[in-house]
């Protein structure tokens, strides 16, 4: 049996540490909207992955998602 705090910590870590592989035609805003349900999450994804040019992501690139804080 786990406490609510332990459960929340697990859920939060699982949610924040997801990653995705960019496919041809993906955009950072599109990924944010599709994976996180929030177009503005692209700013957090950009920050988490230290992307130099957010308008340039490439097929095959692995990105860690940052859907919620």
Whether residue 63 contacts residue 57, with contact meaning beta carbons closer than 8 Å, is answered with yes
pTM: 0.70
Distance CA(55)–CA(2), nearest Å, equals: 42
Residues in the chain, how many?
A: 69
Would you give the DSSP letter of residue 60?
Answer: T
Q: What is the pLDDT of residues 13-46, one digit of tens each?
A: 545 558 889 999 999 999 999 988 889 989 999 9
Structure tokens at 7: 């459960």
Helices (H), the chain: 4-16, 28-31, 41-49
């Amino acid at each position: 049996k786990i406490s609510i705090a332990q459960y929340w910590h697990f859920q939060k870590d699982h949610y924040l540490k997801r990653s995705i592989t960019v496919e041809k035609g993906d955009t950072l805003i599109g990924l944010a909207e599709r994976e996180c349900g929030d177009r503005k999450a692209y700013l957090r994804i950009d920050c988490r992955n230290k992307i130099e040019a957010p308008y340039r992501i490439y097929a095959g690139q692995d990105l860690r998602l940052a859907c919620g804080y």
